[in-house]
Chain A
């Protein structure tokens, strides 16, 4: 997934508006279960 700070992950306990840096390390991706550390920054043009 692409984590969107505006949306957060309410089902995973992450309120909308939470920057990625502020997500706890224990969080896992709602789509595939990957850990926070497995995410890569999205480079925008």
Chain B
């Protein structure tokens, strides 16, 4: 049996960032990254943005240049899963049946889409978007001027609606919320998103829910809602959230958090001292939030991968990056957010949303919780520091 010093499980940005940081920090041991994806680690955001619209080439989505892996002596095993992890023996079993001994491991197994179980879910023309392959499937399935239904009111549905409306499709967003993205950013921001997308021809069906899909000849033709609406649809994209993929961790008897993610401490170390977690699958004890959280944002996955690398090499710092997130609505606008993502009880609006340049400061119990900005990079620049400062002031011992 061969032996790997650092085994990185999961082929997304967290694993890639961990590999890069390990080498950047001078780690000279052997490193292998094992991922089930067909492609080397890539950025997921283009799947609903430029890649979906055909503006970004597949190779341009790669996290690292294709030659990086060999140049840095990091073994990259795509299309390969770790199917079992024996933590007592420190042996991983791969889908190739090979057993690999390891010194330390990173669990960055990502998240899985929430699948709909409504009647008609098996019809042709119903898609999810998480991977490049999903975006390929949507593009293959589209014909000019299609009626597209987006199920969900969060950023996946809004980004896909914007992208496909820009390509000339007739998009309808069906959502339980009154306003798009209001669960994350409140009514002011939600109203702005609705106005922007409506202005580009997107229709919203709000405060309603999908009851079932209907079709003809095995192909989607309509969606029927709980309120009895019958919405015509040639194609549907479902964006109703994701759940942590903690299957391997659970099987290895690692501790699982309340959100279903792999439980980790403030430094991203799991219940096994030599196993770290990062990215969508990781539920960590956040010193900024002062509770365990699991965050599904690319920038968080990247910085957690880097943080875990430093932990693997002996650093004992808490992960204390203020989460950053952005959302591109075609090339019409970019919404940026830095913050803790909590339920704010007060909003401070700076600027006029109708001008396309504004910012919202979210407060909870008088304390800064997050900042959202559109066309205001000046506001966002200082927000990270303000947030970390505010969180530390609330808990002076946090480091």
A interface, CB within 8 angstroms of B: 1-2, 4, 7, 12, 24-26, 28, 30-35, 38, 42, 44-45
Contacts and interface: CB of A to CB of B under 8 A. Distances in A.
Given A34-B134, A38-B133, A28 B96 contact: no
Interface in B79-128: 79-81, 83, 95-97, 110, 112-113, 115, 121-122, 127-128
B122 A25 contact: yes
B81 A2 contact: yes
A43 to B, nearest CB: 10
Which secondary structure dominates chain B's binding surface?
loop
Given A33-B134, A34-B133, A12 B115 contact: yes
B96 A44 contact: yes
Contacts of A32: 112-113, 128, 130-131, 133-134
5 contacts: A4-B83, A32-B112, A32-B134, A33-B129, A34-B137
B245 interface: yes
B115 A33 contact: yes
Nearest to A28: B115
Contacts of A30: 112-113, 115
A40 B275 CA distance: 31
Measured as residues with beta carbon below 8 angstroms from the partner, the interface class of chain B is: 20 to 34
Interface of B: 36, 79-81, 83, 95-97, 110, 112-113, 115, 121-122, 127-131, 133-134, 137, 238, 245
Given A31-B113, A33-B128, A42 B79 contact: yes
Contacts of B245: 31
A4 B97 CA distance: 12
Nearest to B95: A2
A26 to B, nearest CB: 3
Contact of B95 (A26, A34, A42): A42
Given A4-B95, A42-B95, A45-B96, A26 B115 contact: no
A27 to B, nearest CB: 8
A32 B47 CA distance: 12
Nearest to B132: A32
B298 to A, nearest CB: 16
Contacts of A24: 122
A10 to B, nearest CB: 10
A22 to B, nearest CB: 16
Nearest to B122: A26
Contacts of A45: 96
